[in-house]
């Protein structure tokens, strides 16, 4: 931009100088400096929503409270992020809620910086398919109609490396493309194709796997995919591979000599196929797998946590706590912090501040006279600080 206040190039500026300075500053942050005369973001989609308060969002985007961003975006519904904070928000956040809060100006900014191409996939994004990272392209592809996704993948199949082919293939539910993947020269791609065949139980390969599983014994040879399982012998590992690949029917708890192989294989299958009934069954059978736990509905997770003893690593996966679960965890915390220091439990304590209702008082009753309190105080203080920050965030956004 010519020198406006001094120098030999000084001349009158046609237009709104302050608006131009704002646009150029933001576009520079977005990684694309506008040349003189290039128009700023179009106002074809004016955003008439009120601006959300900046206070707590500034702290969140500063990095220390980034884990509160999703909750802030939920509270932001009906409002928009202040334009000055959009570059930081696009750098640190992702997903449909962020793009909704960013609005048309945020989408325009995302188009200026290739590193933000994943945001375009959430919006209107053929651009992300053509220019985005492999992971962003796979996420976008997964949101397309199956036939369209399959056709797009066929068009680029030969020009992609094996890792990218496998990543893109994992996003497609098309039998012909999966068959193509089964014949690929890369074992990683063949394994990815096999993992998608559960959707097609009548396909000869899938039907054969189900028949082998029905015998209750390991297959006669290694199925040959890149699936590894811990602590299993050779034949048990073959059986676990089949259990992980075949379509799941009605849950029946595995028993017998091959029980561990069944459990490991079915656990992986339940995750891949998103089967809540199998997740619940396997958890009841004693499989301690956090991904299975996250497949459960909120009420089911709550009931599972209420039924057992303290599960510090699992509590932080579930929010918000019901009143009954909050009371249970509060009691367990008071007992925990009276005893000897437990490093793994202490690491989980601060994140519990996400689960308690913001109107719940947590400040009183801690065993500060306990000889072990000094070891626990830091973890508890971090939890209380997080809970207090969330309360301030809710109050500000009310």
DSSP line for 23-51: HHHHHHHTT-PPPTT---S--SS---SPB
* Structural domain includes residue 224: no
Query: Do residue 164 and residue 57 come from a single domain?
Result: no
Q: Do 20 and 77 meet the contact criterion of CB atoms below 8 Å apart?
A: no
Decide which of 132, 152, 176 is a domain's last residue: 132
Query: Do residue 86 and residue 188 come from a single domain?
Result: no
Query: Do residue 86 and residue 163 come from a single domain?
Result: no
Structure tokens given for 250: 């009605």
Query: Do residue 122 and residue 80 come from a single domain?
Result: yes
* Structural domain includes residue 160: yes
Q: How far is CA 290 from CA 267, 270, 276, 358, in A?
A: 11, 12, 13, 26
Decide which of 143, 178, 195 is a domain's last residue: 195
Query: Do residue 188 and residue 102 come from a single domain?
Result: no
Q: How far apart (Å, rounded) are the C-alpha atoms in residues 329 and 75?
A: 25
Closest residue by Cα to residue 95 from 139, 51, 52, 47: 139
Q: How far is CA 280 from CA 142, 284, 314, 336, 355, in A?
A: 26, 6, 15, 28, 22
Q: Do 329 and 355 meet the contact criterion of CB atoms below 8 Å apart?
A: yes
Query: Do residue 81 and residue 162 come from a single domain?
Result: no
* Structural domain includes residue 141: yes
* Structural domain includes residue 37: yes
Query: Do residue 28 and residue 110 come from a single domain?
Result: yes
pLDDT of residue 1: 46
Which positions ≥6 away from 362 have C-beta within 8 Å? 330, 356, 383, 384, 387
Query: Do residue 124 and residue 137 come from a single domain?
Result: no
Closest residue by Cα to residue 131 from 148, 115, 149: 115
* Structural domain includes residue 267: no
* Structural domain includes residue 256: no
Query: Do residue 101 and residue 185 come from a single domain?
Result: no
> How many structural domains are present in the chain?
3
Decide which of 132, 149, 179 is a domain's last residue: 132
* Structural domain includes residue 146: yes
pTM above 0.85, yes or no: no
Burial of 153 (0-12, 13-18, 19+ CB in 10 A): buried
Beta bridge partners of 80: 51
Query: Do residue 81 and residue 165 come from a single domain?
Result: no
* Structural domain includes residue 115: yes
Low-confidence ranges of the chain (pLDDT < 70): 1-45, 121-127
Query: Do residue 22 and residue 125 come from a single domain?
Result: yes
Q: What is the DSSP letter of 4?
A: S
Structural domain for 348, as ranges: 317-356+374-397
pLDDT of residue 11: 55
Angle, alpha carbons 36-84-103 (nearest 5°): 90
Query: Do residue 105 and residue 161 come from a single domain?
Result: no
Dihedral angle of Cα 202, 205, 207, 211, to the nearest 10 degrees: 180
Tally DSSP H helices, then E strands, for the chain.
22, 0
């Amino acid at each position: 931009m010519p020198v406006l206040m001094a120098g030999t190039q000084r001349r009158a500026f046609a237009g709104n100088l302050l608006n131009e300075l704002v646009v150029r500053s933001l576009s520079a942050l977005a990684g694309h400096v506008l040349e003189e005369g290039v128009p700023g973001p179009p106002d074809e989609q004016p955003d008439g929503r009120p601006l959300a308060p900046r206070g707590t969002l500034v702290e969140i985007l500063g990095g220390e409270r980034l884990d509160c961003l999703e909750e802030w975006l939920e509270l932001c519904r009906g409002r928009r992020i202040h334009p000055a904070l959009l570059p930081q928000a696009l750098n640190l956040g992702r997903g449909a809620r962020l793009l909704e809060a960013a609005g048309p100006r945020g989408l325009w900014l995302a188009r200026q910086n290739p590193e933000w191409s994943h945001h375009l996939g959430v919006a209107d994004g053929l651009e992300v398919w053509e220019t985005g990272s492999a992971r962003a392209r796979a996420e976008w592809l997964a949101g397309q109609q199956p036939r369209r996704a399959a056709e797009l993948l066929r068009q680029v199949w030969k020009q992609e490396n094996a890792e990218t082919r496998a990543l893109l293939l994992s996003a497609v539910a098309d039998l012909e493309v999966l068959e193509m993947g089964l014949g690929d020269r890369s074992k990683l791609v063949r394994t990815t194709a096999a993992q998608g065949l559960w959707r097609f139980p009548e396909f000869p390969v899938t039907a054969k796997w189900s028949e082998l599983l029905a015998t209750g014994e390991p297959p006669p040879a290694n199925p040959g995919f890149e699936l590894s399982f811990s602590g299993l012998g050779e034949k048990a590992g073959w059986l676990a591979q089949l259990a992980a690949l075949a379509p799941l029917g009605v849950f029946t708890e595995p028993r017998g000599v091959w029980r561990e192989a069944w459990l490991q294989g079915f656990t992986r299958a339940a995750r891949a196929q998103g089967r809540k009934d199998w997740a619940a069954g396997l958890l009841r059978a004693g499989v301690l797998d956090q991904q299975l736990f996250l497949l459960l509905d909120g009420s089911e997770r709550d009931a599972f946590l209420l039924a057992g003893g303290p599960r510090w690593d699992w509590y932080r996966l579930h929010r918000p706590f019901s009143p009954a679960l909050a009371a249970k965890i509060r009691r367990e915390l008071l007992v925990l912090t009276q005893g000897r220091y437990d490093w793994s439990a202490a690491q989980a304590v601060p994140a519990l501040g996400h689960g308690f209702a913001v109107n719940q008082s947590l400040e009183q009753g801690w065993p500060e006279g306990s000889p072990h309190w000094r070891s626990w105080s830091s973890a508890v203080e971090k939890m209380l600080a997080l809970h207090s920050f969330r309360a301030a965030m809710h109050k500000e956004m009310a």
